[in-house]
A and B are shown apart, each in its own frame.
Chain A
């Protein structure tokens, strides 16, 4: 069992490094206010960082991202409503498909597996609020670092095939998804999401029943969940129980006012401002994250360091990742690893030989195949979504 050492704000541990950095005036003011992360082990999971217990929100420690595929027991957990399903009997579970359809279906897991072609691909799953704790000014909500994401091989039936079996009637616009989780009190809106029809009929939108070759874990949506590759995980409804084809526009709470971003190209507003016009959050922006070394690491001088990280691009494939070890003055190209498809993340590596002792800021910037990249400045939005700023990982060389 390995313990995760990264604190909420990248706490620098070594006394020597602290002195050096303090002398150089480089420590952020609230560095020492950070609390150490609490590790908990929930059922079917390994030690993860606790954000909340009821409902569970558990963050993946950064070091697990050294694996190309995130192990199932390390994948993050995020539910919205306290009454999550903790027991499912496949002998009686049914996925109801109905609404504006020719037929109503009641699919068992056997039906889902046997009646529809099984497709499989690797896709990044990322919470809309991944990285929220990095925004300044700070934003209330789930205070994730970078652990609300993972890279998983999903397998399941195409949603389009399931809908075809039900027969979509004319005049249909969106498809809504409901899961087995329930609100803790009568007036709390149930967690229901919708996607537009063209996305519902996309080849890649699936009703997944496997993650990395195994049935879904209970905390990740057993027995089946929606997978919408390239879109934020708010749409990836867990523990699916109902799929409803709609003839009117969906107007649920979790589409409006929740999960919305400013309606402009940067999906941003000046820090602290309100957004005049909003749209639902949809496709993921391009990101890279430095996985190793972690913030606060101390490295020996004159020994090469392999800086390693991941990058992903909202469904378009990564063109390049460039790395800087001198606070952005100069940049070099990282070597990209195995390509598991446009929705998977790619690992990258960059060999660096630190010069003298001191503190260094490592940065990485990814660009995707259609030219989308990461901003240097902090783009801000009132809900703290879509964080993809070029981050600075501070390390000490002794």
Chain B
């Protein structure tokens, strides 16, 4: 059985931190520690919806729970903590969690539920951005690493000028950003998101 979670400790920009005591200021830099989730339909939705508020190890450390218990967890996030998750996404998230971290077997059920929940018509770049990116990159910002925004000047400083450059980052992101491969986000969709970003955040 594959190990469920692979931990990659990524160094924050300032380096693995020691406390700094400079006169009156005391500060630390927190390490960014990623938790890899199991493959399964709906994984990307979990990463972007849940990962915006807390690290994904919250999921991995739980005991295996039933579909009902996972659905209740998702409900708690939406109702008690105000997580901005649509009904459709909530269903897909609960299915993924029940399938991959639940007492039920297999992700087949999860796949069926997730694809049934997907809209029939092709989503726009804006809709895809809202679904996969906006949780952390709302209005072009970055709630995980405040300096890595999506604004034109910031992107150009990092050599990101064309849609293809953005897709590269989506496929191979920096610390703190969930990786989205072609299964999680097919090429045409990634390109649409990239074009939306270039067009919107000047």
Contact = CB atoms under 8 A, between A and B. Distances in A.
Interface of A: 35, 38, 40-44, 50-56, 82, 84, 86-91, 133, 138-140, 142-143, 184-189, 215, 217-219, 222-223, 253, 257
Nearest to B138: A185
Interface in B26-63: 26-33, 35, 52-55, 57-58, 61-63
A117 B144 CA distance: 41
Interface string B50-79: 001111011001110100010001000000
Interface string B117-159: 0000000000000000000000000010000000000000000
Contacts of B65: 140
Contacts of B160: none
Nearest to B9: A40
Given A53-B32, A53-B33, A184 B54 contact: yes
A284 B115 CA distance: 49
A50 B55 CA distance: 12
Contacts of B63: 133, 138-140, 143
A245 to B, nearest CB: 28
B24 interface: yes
B53 A184 contact: yes
Interface string B7-19: 1010000001111
A86 B81 contact: no
B186 interface: no
Contacts of B173: none
A380 to B, nearest CB: 14
Nearest to A93: B24
Nearest to A257: B80
A235 to B, nearest CB: 21
Contacts of B23: 91
Nearest to B31: A42
A359 B179 CA distance: 47
Interface of B: 3-5, 7, 9, 16-19, 23-33, 35, 52-55, 57-58, 61-63, 65, 69, 73, 80-84, 143
Q: Which 6 A-B pairs have the closest CB atoms?
A: A187-B82, A87-B27, A138-B63, A43-B28, A91-B24, A54-B55
A52 B143 contact: no
B8 to A, nearest CB: 11
A54 B54 contact: yes
Nearest to A83: B143
Given A187-B82, A217-B19, 18 more contacts: A40-B9, A41-B16, A44-B19, A51-B57, A52-B61, A53-B55, A87-B28, A90-B26, A91-B23, A91-B24, A133-B63, A140-B63, A184-B52, A184-B54, A187-B81, A187-B83, A222-B26, A257-B80
Nearest to A82: B54
B102 to A, nearest CB: 12
Nearest to B53: A184
A188 B7 contact: no
20 contacts: A35-B3, A40-B9, A42-B30, A42-B31, A43-B19, A43-B30, A52-B55, A54-B30, A87-B25, A88-B25, A88-B26, A89-B25, A91-B24, A143-B62, A184-B53, A185-B52, A188-B53, A215-B26, A218-B19, A223-B26
A260 to B, nearest CB: 14
A62 to B, nearest CB: 18
A38 B83 contact: no
Contacts of A51: 57, 61
Contacts of A55: 54
A185 B53 CA distance: 7
Contact of A140 (B3, B17, B73): B73
Nearest to B144: A54
A89 B25 CA distance: 4
Contacts of A82: 53-54
Scoring B26, B52, B53, B80 by chain A CB atoms within 10 A of each residue's CB, the highest score goes to B26
A43 B27 CA distance: 9
B28 A86 contact: yes
Contacts of B35: 53
Contacts of B17: 43
A188 B9 CA distance: 28
A222 B27 CA distance: 10
B143 to A, nearest CB: 7
Contacts of A43: 17-19, 28-31
Contacts of B4: 35
A151 B24 CA distance: 28
Contacts of A184: 52-54, 143
Contacts of A140: 62-63, 65, 69, 73
Contacts of B24: 89-91
Given A87-B27, A89-B24, A140-B69, A185 B81 contact: yes
A51 B58 CA distance: 7
Given A40-B9, A185-B84, A187-B81, A86 B30 contact: yes
A139 B63 CA distance: 7
A52 B30 contact: no
